[in-house]
Structure 1
């Protein structure tokens, strides 16, 4: 019987790069999307494209028919909304419940559930002074995306235990690069720095990682991951905002360095921008939760011991991944200007 791998959210940044790598390895891939008219991500790819909406269980039953391995990638990825509970948290939690129940009914052999380092504790370190996979987010400082990832992953584990499902979860860092590049909030944030659009330096540390390393970690997790285990797929050490700007200036020496402000000044600015965004129904350029999270309130030093031992996970350094990405963006800008 032919083994089929289902990748949900297959037209997204992570999902599409995962589809490409699975196909390179000769696997039979079923790619699910909510919009079958979004064909560009699949040009030249020999995979089955099916409709699936994680809030439509009938569509999930059809997508999972005959599936051996489920890569649950699809999720709402945004940090702000007019109604965060309705637009971010509830959809991610309900989607998780639906896909896990459908996977049980379809007798899926293995589930690789994509969570995020956002679901880990922000400050509880182990004896190495690092955050490991045993910790959980306790205070999101009002960031709905962080809340949604933690609540959704907890739901996944509860249902995996209830239904006796063979599941592992993977927790990626800030993904960039890859063959297919769809602009996520993470990528747009790095782009804004390179393009000189970030006028306020509120980021203390980030954990850029090449999406290719995350994809390889996911595939190995499907093959060798220990049932019931969480795997951090991020870099051990973060890159500071000053480092990010330094790398960007290699390509654009005239880049203006964003100004630094006090936390109180940034909170006041964020409150103003969020209030205006609600009135105009636009996306604010700075969030109060971002200031709380990034302004000295989050530890981004991760312990990869479990991922290294079980998955042989050894990603390229964040500085290297970021420089490669900035080089790509800069080359694209130069090409457009010619």
Structure 2
């Protein structure tokens, strides 16, 4: 009997592309979702689709029956909510605790836990001047998503050590592309640039990476990843906002670059927009935390030596991944 791999969040962008890569390798895949009516992501795929809600431990126990490898992908991915603690932070932390404990009960052989580069330090660097996997986020600037990624990964590691589980974590950068596109906040941000909808430029640089490179590295991590290790799955060098605009202009030559403002001007604007959002209970078009996290001065140069050595990780360059994504979006217009 072939081993079973469970992918949680299998109808999301990373989860679904991971399912596809596992199937290409002949794996026996169980796809965990909260909504069994969401069938489109699995059309033509020979996988078992099961109910798996991180907040429903019984569903996790059932989904994990007979599972050899758990790919814990599911998470809340948004940067704003009316109640960030209740809607973003607590679900990601409690969901992590539920799935790790359920995996222990099921005697799962290997856990590949998906975190994010958002869980890494923004300013601590090694001797190469780069951020490596030994660092942890210290200042989230009030961004609930960043807080949730750090705290939920730490929860996963606390439990893995407590129960002596064979677990690795992977920390992807800004994912795009792949066979299955389910728009994430990351992709919607890039889309807004290409479509000329981003009128205010608060991004200095980003680290786009093809989701297929991430999925393939996760599969290697399940077999060759060293217990207790964090693996950064991002490009070493970021793509600047000016480079992003130039790539977009290959498809939209007359694209007007977003207006540039000083950081102080952007922070003042974000404060006004956030104040208005509290009255309307709608997401503001700009968050103060986004300005702090993405506008200048933030190091996004990663040391991926460990991922290269253990996982043979050699991703497509960020500029190339972004160009291919823009080309795909442009063709769909």
> Which of the five TM-score ranges fits, normalised by the shorter chain?
over 0.9
1:14-67 per-position Cα deviation (integer Å, ceiling 9, x unaligned): 000000010011000000100000000000000000001101100000000000
Q: Tell me whether 260-269 or 272-281 shows the greater mean CA deviation.
A: 272-281
CA contact (8 A) 1:248 1:323 kept: yes
Q: TM-score, normalised by structure 2?
A: 0.99
Give the Cα separation in 2 of the matches to 1:285 and 1:222.
Answer: 39
CA contact (8 A) 1:122 1:297 kept: no
In structure 1, what is the equivalent of residue 220 of structure 2? 220
1:214-272 per-position Cα deviation (integer Å, ceiling 9, x unaligned): 00110000010000000000000000011000100110011011111111110111111
RMSD value over aligned CA atoms?
0.7
CA contact (8 A) 2:238 2:318 kept: yes
In structure 1, what is the equivalent of residue 141 of structure 2? 141
Residue 132 of structure 1 aligns to a residue whose secondary structure is: coil
Structure 2 unaligned blocks of 5 or more: none
Give the Cα separation in 1 of the matches to 2:16 and 2:283.
Answer: 26
In structure 2, what is the equivalent of residue 336 of structure 1? none
In structure 1, what is the equivalent of residue 248 of structure 2? 248
Q: TM-score, normalised by structure 1?
A: 0.98
Give the Cα separation in 2 of the matches to 1:279 and 1:77.
Answer: 24
User: What are the residue-to-residue correspondences of 1:161-240 with 2, within 5 Å?
Assistant: 161-240=161-240
Give the Cα separation in 2 of the matches to 1:196 and 1:320.
Answer: 20
In structure 2, what is the equivalent of residue 3 of structure 1? 3
Give the Cα separation in 2 of the matches to 1:304 and 1:37.
Answer: 39
CA contact (8 A) 1:13 1:183 kept: yes
1:180-216 per-position Cα deviation (integer Å, ceiling 9, x unaligned): 0000000000000000000011101100000000001
How big is the shift at 1:278?
2.3
Residue 111 of structure 1 aligns to a residue whose secondary structure is: strand
In structure 1, what is the equivalent of residue 314 of structure 2? 314
Does residue 1:80 correspond to 2:41, yes or no? no
Give the Cα separation in 2 of the matches to 1:276 and 1:15.
Answer: 35
How big is the shift at 1:274?
1.5
CA contact (8 A) 1:76 1:88 kept: yes
How big is the shift at 1:107?
0.2
Does residue 1:282 correspond to 2:310, yes or no? no
Give the Cα separation in 2 of the matches to 1:297 and 1:65.
Answer: 47
CA contact (8 A) 2:2 2:27 kept: no
